[in-house]
Amino acid sequence: MRTSQYLLSTLKETPSDAEIVSHQLMLRAGMIRKLASGLYTWLPTGVRVLRHVERIVREEMNRAGAVETMMPVVQPADLWQETGRWEKFGPELLRIADRHQRDFVLGPTHEEVITHLARNEINSYKQLPLNLYQIQTKFRDEVRPRFGVMRSREFTMKDAYSFDIDKAGMEQSYEKMRAAYCAIFDRMGLDYRAVLADTGAIGGSASHEFHVLADSGEDLIAFSTESDYAANIEKAEALAPQAQADSPTQAMALVDTPNAKTIAELVEQFDLPIEKTVKTLFVKASEQVESDLIALIIRGDHELNEVKAENLPEVEAPLTFATEEEIRELVGAGPGSLGPVNLPAPFIVDRSVAVMSDFGAGANTDDKHYFGINWGRDVELGQVADLRNVIEGDPSPCGKGTLMFKRGIEVGHIFQLGNNYSQKMNAGVLGQDGKNAMLEMGCYGIGITRVVAAAIEQNHDQNGIIWPDAIAPFKVAIVPMNMHKSERVREAAEKLYTDLTAAGIEVLFDDRKERPGVMFSDIELVGVPHTIVIGERSMDNGVFEYKHRRDGEKVPFSIDDALTFIQSKLD
Amino acid sequence: MRTSQYLLSTLKETPSDAEIVSHQLMLRAGMIRKLASGLYTWLPTGVRVLRHVERIVREEMNRAGAVETMMPVVQPADLWQETGRWEKFGPELLRIADRHQRDFVLGPTHEEVITHLARNEINSYKQLPLNLYQIQTKFRDEVRPRFGVMRSREFTMKDAYSFDIDKAGMEQSYEKMRAAYCAIFDRMGLDYRAVLADTGAIGGSASHEFHVLADSGEDLIAFSTESDYAANIEKAEALAPQAQADSPTQAMALVDTPNAKTIAELVEQFDLPIEKTVKTLFVKASEQVESDLIALIIRGDHELNEVKAENLPEVEAPLTFATEEEIRELVGAGPGSLGPVNLPAPFIVDRSVAVMSDFGAGANTDDKHYFGINWGRDVELGQVADLRNVIEGDPSPCGKGTLMFKRGIEVGHIFQLGNNYSQKMNAGVLGQDGKNAMLEMGCYGIGITRVVAAAIEQNHDQNGIIWPDAIAPFKVAIVPMNMHKSERVREAAEKLYTDLTAAGIEVLFDDRKERPGVMFSDIELVGVPHTIVIGERSMDNGVFEYKHRRDGEKVPFSIDDALTFIQSKLD
Predicted confidence (pLDDT) per residue in B274-307, tens digit: 999 999 999 999 999 999 999 999 999 999 999 9
Amino acid B197: pLDDT: 87
A46 touches chain B (CB under 8 A): yes
Buried b (16+ CB within 10 A) or exposed e, B471-499: bbbbbbbbbbbebeebeebbebbbebbee
Higher pLDDT, A420 or B184: B184
Amino acid A423: pLDDT: 96
Q: What average pLDDT does this structure show over B329-339?
A: 94
Distance from CA of B46 to the nearest CA of A (A): 8
Q: Name the residue among A448, A452, A458 with its Cα closest to residue A408.
A: A458
Mean pLDDT of chain A: 95
Amino acid B243: pLDDT: 87
Q: Which of A380-394, B203-217, B297-311 has the lowest mean pLDDT?
A: B203-217
Distance from CA of A517 to the nearest CA of B (A): 19
**Sheet containing strand A347-350, strands side by side:** A278-284, A293-299, A347-350, A383-385
- Return the sign of the alpha-carbon dihedral for residues A186, A189, A194, A197: negative
Q: What is the ipTM of this complex?
A: 0.90
Higher pLDDT, B260 or B69: B69
Residue contact A68–B47, C-beta within 8 A: yes
Q: What average pLDDT does this structure show over A555-567?
A: 96
Phi, psi of A478 (to 5 degrees): -105, 120
B501 touches chain A (CB under 8 A): no
- pLDDT of B22 over the 60 cut: yes
- Nearest-CB residue to A47 (from B68, B91, B117): B68
- pLDDT of A538 over the 70 cut: yes
Phi, psi of A223 (to 5 degrees): -115, 150
Q: Do A160 and A133 meet the contact criterion of CB atoms below 8 Å apart?
A: yes
- pLDDT of A116 over the 60 cut: yes
A264 touches chain B (CB under 8 A): no
Residue contact B130–A36, C-beta within 8 A: no
Q: What average pLDDT does this structure show over A368-397?
A: 96
SS3 A27: helix
DSSP string, B451-472: HHHHHHHHSEETTEE---GGG-
* Chain A residues inside the 8 Å CB shell of B36: 75-76, 102, 104
When pLDDT is cut at 50, 70 and 90, the band that residue A204 belongs to is low
Amino acid B503: pLDDT: 97
- pLDDT of B117 over the 60 cut: yes
Distance from CA of B121 to the nearest CA of A (A): 6
Amino acid B206: pLDDT: 85
Amino acid B531: pLDDT: 98
Amino acid B17: pLDDT: 86
User: Which residue of chain B has the CA closest to A156?
Assistant: B72
Distances (CA, A) of A539 to A545, A558, A559: 9, 9, 8
DSSP string, B76-145: EHHHHHHHTHHHHS-TTSEEEE-TT--EEEE-S--HHHHHHHHHHH--BGGG-SEEEEEEEEEE---SS-
Counting residues of chain A whose pLDDT is more than 90, the rounded percentage is 94
Amino acid A143: pLDDT: 92
Residues 386-445 of A with CB under 8 A from B: none
Amino acid B571: pLDDT: 73
State the maximum Cα–Cα separation within chain A, in Å, rounded to a whole number.
94
- pLDDT of B343 over the 90 cut: yes
Distances (CA, A) of B277 to A566, B121, B150, B262, B377: 79, 59, 39, 11, 17
Q: What average pLDDT does this structure show over B491-513?
A: 97
Interface mutation target, options B51, B67, B130, chain A, most CBs of A under 10 Å: B67
Q: Which of A226-230, A448-452, B163-167 has the lowest mean pLDDT?
A: A226-230
Distance from CA of A141 to the nearest CA of B (A): 7
Q: What average pLDDT does this structure show over A72-85?
A: 97
A72 touches chain B (CB under 8 A): yes
Residue contact B67–A44, C-beta within 8 A: yes
Helices B448-458 and B21-28 pack at an angle, to 10 degrees, of 100
Residue contact B68–A44, C-beta within 8 A: yes
A54 touches chain B (CB under 8 A): no
- Nearest-CB residue to A70 (from B42, B65, B120): B42
Interface mutation target, options B27, B57, B98, chain A, most CBs of A under 10 Å: B98
* Chain B residues inside the 8 Å CB shell of A7: 67, 69, 121-122, 127, 130, 132
- pLDDT of B201 over the 70 cut: no
A94 touches chain B (CB under 8 A): yes
Contacts of B259 (CB under 8 A, 6+ apart): B265, B269
Amino acid B340: pLDDT: 97
Amino acid B202: pLDDT: 55
- Nearest-CB residue to B130 (from A7, A73, A75): A7
B31 touches chain A (CB under 8 A): no
Residue contact A69–B47, C-beta within 8 A: yes
Q: What average pLDDT does this structure show over B34-39?
A: 97
B6 touches chain A (CB under 8 A): yes
Task: Count CB-CB contacts under 10 A for residue B249.
Answer: 9
Residues 222-251 of A with CB under 8 A from B: none
Amino acid B16: pLDDT: 87
When pLDDT is cut at 50, 70 and 90, the band that residue B466 belongs to is very high
* Chain B residues inside the 8 Å CB shell of A152: none
Counting residues of chain A whose pLDDT is more than 70, the rounded percentage is 99
When pLDDT is cut at 50, 70 and 90, the band that residue A203 belongs to is low
- Nearest-CB residue to A7 (from B67, B134, B143): B67
pLDDT digit string, tens, across residues A463-474: 999 999 999 999
pLDDT digit string, tens, across residues B509-557: 999 999 999 999 999 999 999 999 999 999 999 999 999 999 989 999 9
Distance (Å, whole) CA B231 – CA A153? 43
Phi, psi of B481 (to 5 degrees): -85, 120
- Nearest-CB residue to A47 (from B40, B69, B91): B69
Amino acid B397: pLDDT: 93
- The model's pTM is 0.91
- pLDDT of A565 over the 70 cut: yes
When pLDDT is cut at 50, 70 and 90, the band that residue A348 belongs to is very high
Amino acid B138: pLDDT: 98
Residue contact A154–B73, C-beta within 8 A: yes
Q: Which residues pair with A254 in a beta bridge?
A: A370
Distance (Å, whole) CA B182 – CA B192? 9
Q: Name the residue among A152, A191, A186, A187 with its Cα closest to residue A458.
A: A191
Residues 158-217 of A with CB under 8 A from B: none
* Chain B residues inside the 8 Å CB shell of A46: 70
Contacts of A318 (CB under 8 A, 6+ apart): A310
Distance from CA of B52 to the nearest CA of A (A): 13
Distance from CA of A122 to the nearest CA of B (A): 9
Residue contact B67–A5, C-beta within 8 A: yes
Mean pLDDT of chain B: 95
- Nearest-CB residue to B98 (from A5, A48, A141): A141
DSSP string, A119-138: HHH--BGGG-SEEEEEEEEE
Residue contact A42–B153, C-beta within 8 A: no
pLDDT digit string, tens, across residues B362-401: 999 999 999 999 999 999 998 999 999 999 999 999 999 9
